[in-house]
Each structure stands twice: as structure tokens, then as C-alpha cells.
Amino acid sequence: MATETPPPSKSPTRLPSAEEFTEVQESAEFGELRRSYRSFAFPLTVAFIAWYLLYVLLSNYAGDFMGTKVFGNINVALLLGLAQFLTTFLIAWWYARHAAAKLDPKAEAIKSRMEGGA
């Protein structure tokens, strides 16, 4: 029976002090990271919640409109309901791209500097 040798572990990282955390949190670099996140996440969250509430309100108060047949047994309510799923997945995909391109490099730079790797 063959046993695998575990991969060599990386050198242990240095744990930053509370003062270092505070210093980084107050830095311009961290502020830019936070701004990049908020400028993407907050407007998109508000837009999606508004879109969801519109769907709920239309379902409750515009039954005739939501019951309008588009083709066959497919009505407006079903199409808008499926669009809720579609927008959820699109937002998740868009956020993953945004994070990989803009947030992760900034966060990794801060992390490596705090752990003493830079």
C-alpha cells in the first residue's frame, strides 16, 4: 500500500497586531478597496431588491397584467418569475468577474503586506 507524502507546508505567516489592523483599515489603499466594493455591491443590491419588489407588487395588484398570455400557457408572471432567477445568476457572475478583476488583487496586496510577504 503506497502512502503519499504530504506537500511541503508554506512557512507560517506572521499574525498582524491589532494596531497594524487599525493602521491598514485607516489606509487609503483599504479605503479604495472598500469604495470599489461598495460602488458595485450597493447599487446592484438596491436595483435587484427594487426589481424583486416590483415583481411582488405586480403579482399582488396587477393580476390581469400578470395573467396575460404571451404564448401558449406561458404568461407574463411566469416570464418575470424566470427572469428573477436569470438576474440572480447574472448578478452573481458579474460580481465574480468584478471581484476577480478589481477587488481580489487589492485585497491580496493588503494581505501579503500585512503577513510580511511584501
Runs of H (alpha helix) within the chain: 18-25, 28-61, 63-66, 76-98, 104-114
pTM for the predicted model, two decimal places: 0.75
List pLDDT tens digits, range 51-107: 999 999 999 999 999 999 999 999 999 999 999 999 999 999 999 999 999 999 999
Q: What is the pLDDT of residue 9?
A: 55
Give the chain's mean pLDDT.
88
User: What are the sequence ranges of the domains in the chain?
Assistant: 26-114
Long-range interactions of 49-53: CB distance < 8 A, separation 24+: 51/84, 51/87, 52/84
Dihedrals phi, psi of 52, to nearest 5 degrees: -65, -45
